[in-house]
Structure 1
Amino acid sequence: MTDYGDLLPVAHEAVDLARDMMRTLRPGVLTGKGDRDMASEVDFAIERKLRTFLAERTPQIGFLGEEEGTSGAGDELTWSLDPVDGTVNFVHGSPLCAVSLGLIERRRSVLGVIDLPFLGNRYFAALGHGAFADGERIHASRTGELTEALVAVGDFAVGQGAARLNEHRLAITAAFAEQAQRVRMFGSAALDLAWLAHGRLDAFVMLSNKPWDTSAGVIIAAEAGARLADVDGSPHTADSGATIGANEALLPSVLALVQQSAPVR
C-alpha cells in the first residue's frame, strides 16, 4: 500500500511558497470569470509557481489548478490546487481565505494541506496518518444534536442559472436557521472543511464539489473522524455533486434536512 505521508514534505514546501506569496503580494488586477466571480493576479501567480515547483519535484504526478487547468502526465495521481480559496474575501481584505493543495488518486482524496495565511494556521493529513493543525492531532466534533450544532453553508451560486440553484441553498439555510444552534457562511470551502476537522464547526453543507475546493479538506476532515457524503448519503468522492460533512452521529440529521429542503418541482 502506498504511504502518502511520504509526499507531505513536498506538499508543505509548496504550500509554504503559496502562503508567503499571499501574505506579501497585493491582489493586483482582477480577471473576470463570469457574473461576480474573479481571479486575482495572486491566484495566477501562486498557481504558476506551484505548478512549476511540483512538476520539478514530483514529475510523475499530474497537476490540476483552478485557474489554468491540467498539466503533467499523472495517470493515477494528481495534485489539485486552489491557489486562493476565498478570492473575494482576499480581495476585500478578509482573513478568511486559504491555500488548498490536495492529492487525488483515482477520484479519491488521499492527502491534503490547507494553510490559512492571515490566521496563522496549517492543517494537513495523509490517508491513514490522522489529521493535524499546527502539528497537533485534531478530531472532529462529537456534537450529536442539531440544536447544539454550528453549521456552515457554502456560498450562494452566481452566474447563469444562479436563481434556480439558489432555491435549494436558500431553503437549506432557512431550515438550518430554524433548527441548528447557529448558521455561518465564511466563503471558503477549504476553511470550512479544516474547521470541521478541528471541531470548530459541527457540520458543513456545500451543494457543489470542485476538486480544487474540496480535495484537501475532505481528507483532512475524514482523517479527523468526520464523515463526508453526497446529498443522497453515498460516500463522498471527486464525482459527488455536493460536499456534506459531520460526525457519524450528526450526519443523518444534516442529510435529512438537506434532502427535505429540496424545492418541489
Structure 2
Amino acid sequence: MTTAAASLLPVALEAVAIASDLMRTRVPGLLTAKGDRDMASEVDYAIERAVRDHLRDKTPDIAFLGEEEGITGNNTAELLWTLDPVDGTANYVRGLPMCGISLGLIHKDRPIVGVIDLPFLNTRYHAAQNVGAYQGDRRLQVSMTTDLKDAIVALGDYAVGKDADNKNRLRLALTERLAANVQRVRMLGSAALDLAWVADGKLDASIMLSNKPWDTAAGVLIAREAGATVIDADGTDHTFTSTATIAVAPHLASQLSALVGTVINAVQSEMGSS
C-alpha cells in the first residue's frame, strides 16, 4: 500500500489547496446549529462539496466521508477519503487562526495519506505511509523530551451535547492531573493542529478523549510518520475504532499512558460508587 499511498498524495494536496483558497477568501457566512454549542458555517459546506467533487473526479472508486454531509460513493471499498472541511470552526468564526482543513485517506482501519492545511498560519503538513511527514520540503521530527515535567501537552475540547457533564468529569480530572505533572497544558481548539504540532515538535503530546475519523485520520498519520507514538486511552495502538486519540513523543509514551490510565480508573471508580 506504500506505493499507492504516495501516488495519491498529489491528489490530496490538490484537493486541500482548493479548500484552503475557499477558507482564506470567504467569510464564514450563516451558521447552522448542529446541536448543543456545535455549529457549521457556510464555508464548512462549501469546502466539503468542493473537495468531494474534486476527489470524485480524480478517484471515482474511492468513497468519501465528510463531517457535514456524511458518506458518498462505494462505502464497502477498502479505501476511504475523510475530510473535516474546517477543523476548529468555533475558532474560525471568531477570527482565531488556530483552524484548518484535515484530509485523510484510510485503508481498512489505518490512515495512509494525510494533509493538514492551516490557512491563516500559512502552513501545510502532509504525509504518506512509510515515506515520512513534511511541512513543505522540511521533514518533520517529534520532540526529544524525556520527562513529563518538561512537556507541553494539548488537550482536546471539553465535551458539549448529550451527557457532556459526565464526559467532562474525566476531562476535568485529566486537566487537573496534567496541570500538576507537566510543564504546561494547552487547549488550542483544533484536533488537526494539535496532531500536526506534535509531529512538528511544537507540542510534546496531544490528548483527545474522542476519535472521529475526519478529525484525526490525517493528523494521526502525520504524527506517526514524524516518529510519534499514537495510542488509544488503554495504551493500545490507535486505529479507526479507537475511543481516544493520544499522540506523544516516544520517550514520554509510557509516562503519559500511565497517567491517563490512572485518571480513567479513578474517575470510573468514583462514578461507579456514586
Q: Distance in 2 between matches of 1:90 and 1:135?
A: 27
Q: Distance in 2 between matches of 1:102 and 1:129?
A: 15
1:233-248 map, 5 Å: 233-248=235-250
Matched, 1:58 2:59: yes
1:205 match: 207
Q: Deviations over 1:78-125 (max 9, x none)?
A: 100000000000001000001000000001111100000000000000
1:115 match: 117
1:68 match: 69
The alpha carbon displacement at 1:236 in A equals 0.1
Matched, 1:15 2:16: yes
Aligned residue type for 1:222 = R
Aligned residue type for 1:153 = L
Q: Secondary structure at the match of 1:252?
A: helix
Matched, 1:193 2:195: yes
Q: Distance in 1 between matches of 2:2 and 2:72?
A: 23
Q: Distance in 1 between matches of 2:62 and 2:83?
A: 13
Q: Distance in 1 between matches of 2:143 and 2:35?
A: 37
**Which among 149, 172, 185 is matched to residue 147 of structure 1?**
149
Q: Secondary structure at the match of 2:113?
A: strand
1:138 match: 140
Q: Distance in 2 between matches of 1:20 and 1:248?
A: 35
Q: Secondary structure at the match of 2:57?
A: helix
Q: Distance in 2 between matches of 1:23 and 1:135?
A: 23
Q: Secondary structure at the match of 1:33?
A: strand
Q: Distance in 2 between matches of 1:35 and 1:119?
A: 29
1:249-260 map, 5 Å: 249-260=251-262
1:35 match: 36
Matched, 1:226 2:236: no
Q: Secondary structure at the match of 1:51?
A: helix
Q: Distance in 1 between matches of 2:9 and 2:109?
A: 19
Q: Secondary structure at the match of 1:118?
A: helix
2:173 match: 171
1:86 match: 88
8 Å Cα contact 2:112/2:129 also seen in 1: yes
1:183 match: 185
Consecutive unaligned residues in structure 1, runs of 5 or more: none
Q: Distance in 2 between matches of 1:135 and 1:35?
A: 41
8 Å Cα contact 2:2/2:129 also seen in 1: no
Aligned residue type for 1:66 = E
8 Å Cα contact 2:153/2:182 also seen in 1: yes
The alpha carbon displacement at 1:55 in A equals 0.2
User: Which TM-score applies when normalising by structure 1?
Assistant: 0.99
Deviating more after overlay: 179-188 vs 133-142:
133-142
Moved over 6 A (4+): none
User: Which TM-score applies when normalising by structure 2?
Assistant: 0.95
Deviating more after overlay: 172-181 vs 69-78:
69-78
Tell me the number of residue pairs that the alignment of Structure 1 and Structure 2 aligns: 265
Q: Deviations over 1:207-252 (max 9, x none)?
A: 0000000000000000000010001111000100000111222011
Q: Secondary structure at the match of 2:233?
A: coil
